[in-house]
Structure 1
Amino acid sequence: MMKKFNKTTITSQAAESGILNFHPSLVQILVENFLWHLLLILLFWTILPLPYFFWKYIRIRSTSYILTTQRLITKSGVFWKEVNFIELYRVLDIQVERGPIYQLLDFARTCLGRKPLLLGDIRVFSSDYSHAKLFLYTIPNALGVAEKIRKAFNDDKDIKRVIRRD
């Protein structure tokens, strides 16, 4: 004997309506992932700049300046070496700039009882075609070095009897 089932449809009597709309808390996410974020920040600010600072160190160590009685020679380059010569009789002017970071560094060294470095940037202006402006960055005792360059180019101009345009 077979039983028959009545098919009855169940319909909802009321339309669905929203009760609450919410989002996860940003503070909770930051607190839960604090160590992960701290690690990422430390990685970004300490590990990633290391190759950049290493490259800068290599470039600084591969740059040198030689002052002779007739020329100012600059040698630079890591993979491709570049050597530039500026004849001293062509030098027109020298400018020394000591920025606030250099002065702050010297003040800190003086407070620690150490001798100041007297760092500065030297700009050499010349009538040379290839290097009308030569920048010598972060030179220790910049005023003393600039004075030696000035004396050398004045002596060279006197020897070569160059007419000065003062």
Structure 2
Amino acid sequence: MSEEKPVFRGSSSQVLNLAHFAGAIVLGGVTLFASTQFGGWLAALVVLPLAYAGWRGWLIASRVYEITTERIKVTTGLLNKHTDDLELYRVKDTVLEEPVLLRLAGAGNIVLTTSDTTTPTLVLEGITGAKEVREELRKHIEACRDRKRTRLTELE
């Protein structure tokens, strides 16, 4: 039996938070402007959009994808961690999605359709170098199926 080896480990790109960060900047600017017009105490409210942006950044950074030669592990959570495993031989299909903003940042989404009952679809969001990661993943999916002697049967 082969030893499980790491293939990829990373988090989602912070580009996923672009709208949240932009909203926090605009709201912070409006709050600062309002504090000059209606009283300095409103300046204290600038902390709220900044805290929200920080929380969103931390949320994305705490989602960790780990791909090995045998499985995919997805760990989520800020304080309470949750790890979900998906065996590679259960993956039926892979799709690469490259929305404009992610593509500009050199990232993309990898969508996996699986035969796993708890995770029929798994989306690896905002993966930097998604095209290369998907190709590497596909290679290991096939190798894992060969080792386990499993094949998908497609019914029409």
TM range (shorter): 0.5 to 0.7
Residue 139 (1) aligns with residue 127 (2)? yes
2:100 paired residue number: 100
2:15 paired residue number: none
Deviation of the 1:47 alpha carbon:
4.7
Q: What is the correspondence of 1:31-46 to structure 2 with a 5 Å cutoff? A: 35-36=36-37
Q: What is the correspondence of 1:12-161 to structure 2 with a 5 Å cutoff? A: 35-36=36-37, 47-103=47-103, 106=104, 117-161=105-149
Q: Any idea what the Cα deviations from partners look like across 1:53-79, whole Å, max 9, x if unmatched?
A: 111111122221111121111111112
RMSD (Å), alpha carbons: 2.6
Deviation of the 1:102 alpha carbon:
2.2
TM-score, with normalisation over the residues of structure 2? 0.67
| Partner Cα distance (1:43, 1:158) in 2 | 61
| Partner Cα distance (2:135, 2:68) in 1 | 14
TM-score, with normalisation over the residues of structure 1? 0.63
Larger radius of gyration: 1
Aligned length: 121
More strand by share: 2
| Partner Cα distance (1:163, 1:98) in 2 | 29
The percent of aligned pairs where both chains have the same amino acid is 30
| Partner Cα distance (2:56, 2:135) in 1 | 28
Q: Any idea what the Cα deviations from partners look like across 1:98-129, whole Å, max 9, x if unmatched?
A: 112223xx3xxxxxxxxxx4211111111111
More helix by share: 2
| Partner Cα distance (1:68, 1:81) in 2 | 20
Q: Which segments of 5 or more consecutive residues in structure 2 lack a partner in the other structure?
A: 1-33
Question: Relative contact order, CA 8 A, sep 6+: which one is greater?
Answer: 2
Q: Any idea what the Cα deviations from partners look like across 1:75-101, whole Å, max 9, x if unmatched?
A: 111121101110110001111111122
Q: Residue 93 and residue 55 in structure 1: after superposition, are their counterparts in 2 closer, same or farther (change >3 A)?
A: same
| Partner Cα distance (1:120, 1:137) in 2 | 7
Q: Which segments of 5 or more consecutive residues in structure 1 lack a partner in the other structure?
A: 1-32, 107-116
Q: Any idea what the Cα deviations from partners look like across 1:22-59, whole Å, max 9, x if unmatched?
A: xxxxxxxxxxx9x517x9x9988x65321221111111
Amino acid at match of 2:76: S
Amino acid at match of 1:58: W
Amino acid at match of 1:145: V
